Amino acid sequence: MVSAAIMGYGTVGAGVFKVLTMNRELIRERVGEEIRVKYVLDLREFPGDPVTDVLTHDFNDILNDPDVKIVVETMGGLRPSYDFTKRALLAGKAVCTSNKELVAEHGVELRQIAKEKNVNYLFEASCGGGIPIIHVLDSALTADEIDSVHGILNGTTNYILTQMMDEGREFADALKEAQALGYAERNPEADVEGWDACRKIAILSSLAYGKHISYKNVHTEGITAIDAADMAYAKALKMKIRLLAASGNTAEGVWAMVAPMLVGRKNMLYNVDGVLNAILVHGNAVGDTLFYGSGAGSLPTASAVAGDVISAARHLNRTMASDWKAEEMELMPLDEVKHAFFVRFAGTEEEARASFGEITPVRLPSLPDEFGFVTPVMAEKDFKAAATDRVVKRIRIA
Ligand code: HSE
């Protein structure tokens, strides 16, 4: 029997407890021995919940019990999760987490400690919830040079943008609904400003390109400025606006960014609606691959964490190889990154042509004082140089 402990009995922690209990027999067969949850750490009481039998309020119960070989960290945030994770690893326990904030901030260091202690620090659930994208980048696609990663990695913003597009809702109403449905983070800023997606693409890109990409260096724009007029233009262009977390490995260098982008019908991410997540990975041998599913929610996220628990149980005294090196990746300056841009322009077509060359105007009867057009693919710095005060807004095209 392998003993495990869960730190944090919130949405994800309770889901992990449920999956490990519900599928106990199946997991025993797959691992070759039973995985028993010996402790669940939480400051709260849960009267009537089966967790009561194993509930503790003291981290030391877990830390000082040599029987506990695997610790699940589903507390979220940096404190006290960083301290607890570090101490658990140093005590020779494997740690499995869903905590993208902690992985993005301290993942390199925690993986290094795990390696020194011959255990594993696993974080499948930190990106894309139940979608096994970490395994894909850390293992299945390691024979490929990864050229690009384009992800819809935040369910809340995808839900909001889908509602705005399909139901004609305003941003604020769609956000309230997402919060009521439990999709948004406690602090919705992390979702709508793109910070959550930023941490996730930093983690995925670090694994994809093999050097550490700090989320602090990833250019990040949220969706708060997207309005009904943008949606109307998107419809006219037969495109959708999505918050994309993207990175690319080009001859000029590696870039990464989070920003609302227009996605056309030929793009595999076009049909990813509502709270669902998807990640499009292009490898130089495999070509395009798409990974799609529930990016949040108790059981989908718990499925990923519990899968890590099983991996940890199968590799109790052996660190699984990973290509995430501590060396810092120097990202290309944003100015050098190239995209086509959709531009809303409050001027004449001649003025637009003088700045951007040949353009095809898109006009909406509801917006008589402006029109839209798509630029050729150009570097951000060239766009900035061409843009005049006639540019009302620009949205990149994926
Ligand atoms: N708030 C996140 C989302 C939860 O909406 O995707 C999962 O990380």
Does the CB atom of residue 391 touch ligand 1 within 6 A?
no
Higher pLDDT, 178 or 158: 158
Quick one: fold of 2-130+298-326? Rossmann fold (3.40.50)
Q: Does pLDDT of 153 surpass 80?
A: yes
Per-residue pLDDT tens over the stretch 306-360: 999 999 999 998 999 887 889 999 999 999 999 999 999 999 999 999 999 999 9
CATH code, 334-397:
3.30.70
Q: Active-site residue among 69, 100, 200, 338?
A: 200
Taking every pair of Cα atoms in the chain, the longest distance, rounded to a whole number of angstroms, is: 75
pTM, 2 dp:
0.96
Ligand 1 binding pocket mutation candidate from 185, 189, 294 (most atoms within 8 A of CB) = 185
Q: Considering only CA atoms, which residue is closest to atom 8 of ligand 1?
A: 296
Region 238-262: mean pLDDT is 97
Choose among 151, 100, 362, 393: nearest CA to 277: 151
**Domain boundaries in the chain?**
2-130+298-326, 134-291, 334-397
Pick the CATH number of 134-291 from 3.30.360.10, 3.40.50.720, 3.50.50.60, 3.40.50.2300: 3.30.360.10
CA 341/CA 38 separation, integer angstroms: 54
CA 263/CA 249 separation, integer angstroms: 20
CA–centroid distance, 156 to ligand 1, in Å, is 6
Region 50-62: mean pLDDT is 97
Q: Considering only CA atoms, which residue is closest to atom 4 of ligand 1?
A: 296
Region 103-120: mean pLDDT is 97
Does the CB atom of residue 185 touch ligand 1 within 6 A?
yes
| pLDDT score recorded for residue 323 | 78
| pLDDT score recorded for residue 318 | 95
Phi, psi for residue 37 in degrees, rounded to 5:
-85, 110
Q: Does pLDDT of 182 surpass 90?
A: no
CA 324/CA 307 separation, integer angstroms: 20
Ligand 1 binding pocket mutation candidate from 97, 179, 183, 193 (most atoms within 8 A of CB) = 183
| pLDDT score recorded for residue 280 | 98
pLDDT level of residue 185 (50, 70, 90 thresholds): low
